[in-house]
Structure 1
Amino acid sequence: MSQTQLDKLKMTLGISDDTKDAELQLILDDVQDDILTWTNRAELPKLLESTIRQIAVIRYNMQGVEGQTSHSEGGISRSFDVLPQSIQNIIIQARLLKATRYAAKTT
């Protein structure tokens, strides 16, 4: 039986029940929409499915501390990147160029 993106995300996060399914699905949907926008695509290539999960894990773990760039407390220090460079590279490789049309001026 093939696992869904939601099943794979729950496995990655160590979540075994379905209490967070709606929240996790919303995160997956938002990340997919973002990747489609970033890559100028209408459909998601299979090679970006794991990237969606990687970004979804980051977004799930950053809930409540969105945008935090540095934090120290009790000897523990945290800082966050927007997206790790390795994920950015995958997205850039899958990006389609945008073609635009323009009308030449006639005299």
Structure 2
Amino acid sequence: MISWLLLVAAGLLEIGWASAIKESHGFTRFWPSVLGIGGALASFALLTLAVRDLPLGTAYAVWVGIGAVGVAVAGVVWFGDTLSPGRVLFLGLIVVGVAGLKFLES
């Protein structure tokens, strides 16, 4: 169970570091750059701990899925990205895939 919590935390950090990288404007802004790089390192570290007990393919897919959906939502909420029905559909499919992997490993 702790490995799954580490993995979810790693995925949530991915949302944060990717958003910070966007705000860094190509690493020209100091604090968003620091948060982006630090968040990425922390996310990778937690992923590394999670794969000690979880299958690599499952852990990586869940990590990427959390990050992809989370960053897409962050893009809509904070960065003005558009949200189309097709985008919602395919993000939903990612969520279903991640949930399915979790249930298979339980």
- Could you state the TM-score of these two structures normalised by the residue count of structure 2? 0.37
Larger radius of gyration: 1
**Which structure: greater strand fraction?**
1
- Could you state the TM-score of these two structures normalised by the residue count of structure 1? 0.36
**Which structure: greater helix fraction?**
2
